[in-house]
């Protein structure tokens, strides 16, 4: 389904100054005081987006999982570990924000019980029951009102179909289909879909270049949303 939305001018995009929430990095879900479930996300993409947003003049709150990256200049960083902590921090920041980009690789599951001390190694199987973690993008998306949100989908098969379902389920205005090969790499390739629009294939580029493209897309979405609101 195509759209004929008029793109805002570059001058208008430069004049847009937003309060943004960006999530980045992995989460850690502990089953004792030492061991945890996580994933290999480095946080580089989310940090690059936060840096690009700050350089574009936006006020940025970056909610970050555990990564080995320095805070981008001019960005407020809130460091968390678990999905629940990320949700609470993101919810507080989103209350005063205009838009959010959900780039974090949040663990989908957490151990249902967390031991209060390190569990000793045993020469036998150990059963750990898992429970789903909160869906941060969907939770905040349900209450976003006029705010703009962009989500990420990392898929290794049937990518577009999965991403399209996530776009709807998470109440996003757009979604970025992330290639698994981007994890840990300095370069990235992606596809971009605006709700009601058609897929755009973005060329492989450095993560800072990709981040600038994402911020420009967000600004276009915000300008279009503002124009509709004024018309109403």
- Do residues 86 and 27 lie in contact, with contact meaning Cβ atoms separated by under 8 Å? yes
Helices marked H in 148-206: 159-169
- Tell me how many helices (H) and strands (E) the chain has: 6, 12
Per-residue tokens: 164: 């399209």
Active site residue 4: no
Catalytic residue among 4, 39, 178, 182: 39
Instruction: Show Cβ contacts of residue 198 under 8 Å, excluding neighbours closer than 6 positions.
Output: 1, 2
b/e code 117-145 from CB counts within 10 Å (16+ = b): eeeeeeeeeeeeeeeebbbbbbebbeebe
Helix (H, G, I), strand (E, B) or coil at 4: coil
User: Which residue in this structure is represented by tokens 């989460």?
Assistant: 27
**Enclosing H/E stretch for 102:** strand 99-102
As beta bridge partners, residue 100 has 21, 149
Active-site residues, by number, are 39
């Amino acid at each position: 389904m195509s759209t004929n939305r008029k793109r805002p001018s570059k001058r208008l995009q430069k004049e847009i100054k937003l309060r943004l929430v960006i999530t980045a990095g992995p989460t850690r879900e502990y089953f004792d005081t030492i061991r945890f479930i996580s994933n290999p996300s480095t946080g580089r993409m989310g940090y690059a987006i936060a840096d690009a947003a700050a350089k574009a003049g936006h006020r940025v709150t970056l909610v970050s999982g555990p990564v080995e990256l320095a805070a981008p200049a001019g960005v407020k960083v809130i460091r968390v570990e678990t999905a629940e902590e990320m949700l609470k921090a993101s919810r507080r920041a989103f209350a005063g924000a205009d838009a959010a980009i959900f780039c974090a690789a949040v663990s989908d599951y957490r151990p249902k019980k967390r031991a209060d001390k390190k569990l000793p190694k045993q020469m036998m199987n150990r059963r750990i029951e898992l429970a789903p973690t909160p869906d941060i993008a969907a939770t905040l998306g349900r209450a976003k009102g006029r705010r703009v949100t962009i989500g990420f989908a990392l898929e290794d098969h049937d990518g577009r179909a999965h991403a399209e379902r996530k776009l709807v389920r998470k109440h996003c205005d757009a979604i970025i289909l992330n290639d698994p090969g981007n994890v840990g790499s300095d370069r990235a390739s992606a596809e971009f879909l605006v709700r009601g629009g058609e897929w755009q294939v973005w060329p492989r580029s450095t993560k800072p270049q990709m981040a600038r493209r994402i911020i420009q897309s967000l600004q276009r979405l915000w300008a279009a949303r503002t124009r509709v609101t004024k018309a109403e």
